[in-house]
Amino acid sequence: MPKINNESFYINALKKHGHTPKGLNWKDKRSQNIRFEIILEFLKDRLHHDTKVIDAGCGFGDFYLYSKKQGFEFEYIGYDVLQKFANITESRIGKKAYKKDILSDELDEADYYIASGSLNILTKFETYLFIKRCFEHSTKGFVFNFLEGDGFEKNFNTLDRDEVISYAKELGAKVSVKDGYLSGDVSLFLERV
């Protein structure tokens, strides 16, 4: 797994594509929304107005906007490693967003952490640390997606599903899996038991 410079990877996409899914290096809005839909499938019966959700790698706050459009209302906080993206999230959705490096900064506790696309440029070590820290700071669970297999741009790192599931179980999580919604994309819900 190559080490990719997070800031240049995302700032260059933002300059080229603006505040769009491609500005976050997503393939397109459709694939972004499909991933959000899967996250909501895991959480749909768990989200209430007082449920606190931290979006780890919030980008432009699109997950919150998509969720609101689907009729979900909850307490949302965005974290992004880039201050520029945290600022964009706050101005777009009117919710708090902070510059936070999930791998090293102090994290707040939330009912749920979610991450969509946030693992795709991390090294394997960073990925497992990211998963561990989000799960440790959630009181109810962590939902995230990742890429597996071949056929992705060289900038994206892939993971082995069985290894990720095994690691999640070592953390003490009850693991639920969804796949087949997009080629090479897997979503996991690590639930506290």
pLDDT in tens, the chain (193 residues): 445 555 555 455 455 555 555 444 456 668 889 999 999 999 999 999 999 999 999 988 999 999 999 999 999 999 999 898 899 999 999 999 999 999 999 999 999 999 998 888 788 899 999 999 999 999 999 999 998 976 555 567 788 999 999 999 999 999 999 999 998 899 999 999 9
Q: CA angle 148-163-107, nearest 5°?
A: 90
User: What number of other Cβ atoms are within 10 A of residue 11's Cβ?
Assistant: 15
Distance CA(134)–CA(136), nearest Å, equals 5
Distance from CA of residue 21 to its chain's centroid? 14
Show me where the domains of the chain are located: 6-191
Which has the closest alpha carbon to 50: 75, 77, 71? 75
The pTM of the full predicted model, rounded to 2 decimals, is 0.88
> What homologous superfamily is domain 6-191 in, according to CATH?
Vaccinia Virus protein VP39 (3.40.50.150)
Tokens 């087949």 locate to 180
Tokens 């490693």 locate to 81
